[in-house]
Amino acid sequence: MNFMMIILWNAMAVMGATDELFEKFKVEMEHGKRWSVSEIVKRKAVFLANIAHINELNTKYGEHFGVNKYALMTTEEKRHLMGKKVPEEYKKSYKKANPPQFKKTSLPESLIFCGNYNVNNGKKYDYCASKTQNQGECGSCYAFGVAQLLETKYAMKTGRKEQISAQQILDCNTGSSERCCGGFPQDVLKHVKGYTTEKAYPYKDFYTSMDDCSRNKCEKKSSVLKVKSYKSFDNCYTEECVKSVLNNYGPFVTSMYASQDLQYYTHGVLDLDCGNPNIGTNHVVVVVGYGVEGGKAFLVIRNSWGDNWGENGYFRISWNDLCGIGGNDAGAMPTSVLVDITTEKLQSGVVPYFALLVLFALSVM
């Protein structure tokens, strides 16, 4: 076989593999409705362009990125998935907050509340349900951010793992948030009084249009928890401050700036480059721990793009740039929120030690 034949053979193999990937993700995107020929041609062009971009990312930043269903999406479609949105009138009512108060003590090298990460010289808990929830094509990251934070708080207090319903948040929030058009955590925490489980109130907006702002009818369900208090904070975007928050209060919900490149993330510790700790943010996530791997320190973040994305639904970033976590959203409002809850019935009437610590810390703020 001559040299030109080898090149041709390799090119055909690559194209064959690319076609297989395209067909695989096309099935997910079609939702049971077959695309027209013109739509397939359009999506194939988008797919090939995005694959080229993914290759560039891996060349520039290391092998942290891969091909998934987001490679079939246009730039506008991917932008809508970042569903953090704050109305202008709401921004005016927020003033600059302060970092949480805590005593300075020595901090463990690692602290993990959720996720399958190794811990050296630290503490590891398992306060998350095994499956990371998936917002689908709805711009509902703000609802899932709150739901998945409350899930950890519920486990910390009761010892039980229950997924909390994001759909209930979308349907029953009477504030400014707009279903799949976006919202923000503080609005949810202010207006939704009781929260039920995903099992009792399942998610149905997975395929809902990203510009569908009208709410479904709120269904009355019994609550498993209520928000007792919440507190926004900013000016806490250093490694020491964020670690102290996690050690004193546990996980917290936050908005951050997430570029569309994050959607192709597969594994490893990302070095983000936002350049401004108070950058305008667009995506809501939950901070669930920190650690060290191969001499590189990282922050662990739980996302809402399903457990087949990233590291089983999680991603890790270095401390070099937190892209808005612990900051002030372009000077408009704090990005991060601490939450305390009450439950309908605590398991065996016993509150775990860490939960008592959180309650005490919030009471003295």
Active site residues: 141, 283, 303
How many helices (H) and strands (E) would you count in the chain? 9, 10
Strand bridging mode 225-233 / 336-343: antiparallel
Helix 353-363 × helix 141-158 angle, to 10°: 120
Contact in structure between 281 and 335 (CB atoms under 8 Å):
yes
Provide the b/e sequence for 183-200 (b: ≥16 CB within 10 Å).
bbbbbbbeebeebbbbee
Strand bridging mode 269-270 / 314-318: parallel
Q: How far is CA 189 from CA 17, 193, 253, 283, 339, in A?
A: 46, 8, 11, 17, 9
Strand partners, 290: 111, 299
What end-to-end distance do the CA atoms of the chain give, in Å?
74
Cα distance between residue 91 and residue 238, in whole Å? 24
